[in-house]
Amino acid sequence: MKKHLLSISILLVLIACNETTSPPGVIPASIIDTQLPKVDTLKPLISNNSIGSGLTLEEMKDDSVFTDGSIPTSWEVAGITDVKNFKLFLKRVQLLVLNDEKEQLAKFIKYPLGRSIKSEAEFIKNYDRIFTKDAKLSIAKINFSQIFRNSKGAMSEEGRVWFQQEVDEFKIIAVNN
């Protein structure tokens, strides 16, 4: 029980704060080296469509100017018409990646992924090669109030993972290692 409480605490700090005392873009070694066990108590968050239970008010706040002073492209240019549900989708992806729930994550992929991953089964088989430590950290560090987007979609930190809206659902369209 203590192990799960510690894991939940670490996960909540990582997700909710999106800030560390380290320089921007640097995650403390203690987080990088921590192997987080599955956090079963957060599973309702993955399937619950209620914004109130999935995102904080800070995460829902939208950006007008990025930290570097640049002005973000509009959500419409990125093809995203439902920002609240997109951010909820990102939270789901974040939890699935942190828990290595590759079978569930496979449902959020637009296939083919790259040149070689053409199905859910191929994604699951190659999950560790696709979602490297750097890709996982990029997902973990998403700043929900400053998500970069352009005409290709939206991306996680450092452009490692790209997302698009297709009709009324969201998909991972690229993972760059």
**Domain residue spans in the chain?**
63-175
158, pLDDT greater than 80? yes
Task: Spell out the alpha helix ranges (H) of 38-177.
Answer: 43-47, 51-54, 57-60, 83-98, 102-105, 120-125, 127-130, 133-140
Q: Which residue has the higher pLDDT, 31 or 151?
A: 151
- pTM score, whole prediction: 0.68
- Tell me what pLDDT residue 173 has: 97
137, pLDDT greater than 50? yes
Tokens of 123: 């994604």
Q: Tell me the range of 11-20, 55-64, 138-147 where mean pLDDT is highest.
A: 138-147
Q: Which residue has the higher pLDDT, 167 or 39?
A: 167
Cβ atoms of residues 164 and 173 within 8 Å: yes
91, pLDDT greater than 50? yes
9-13, 106-110, 116-120, 127-131: range with lowest mean pLDDT: 9-13
DSSP code for 74: P
- Tell me what pLDDT residue 68 has: 77
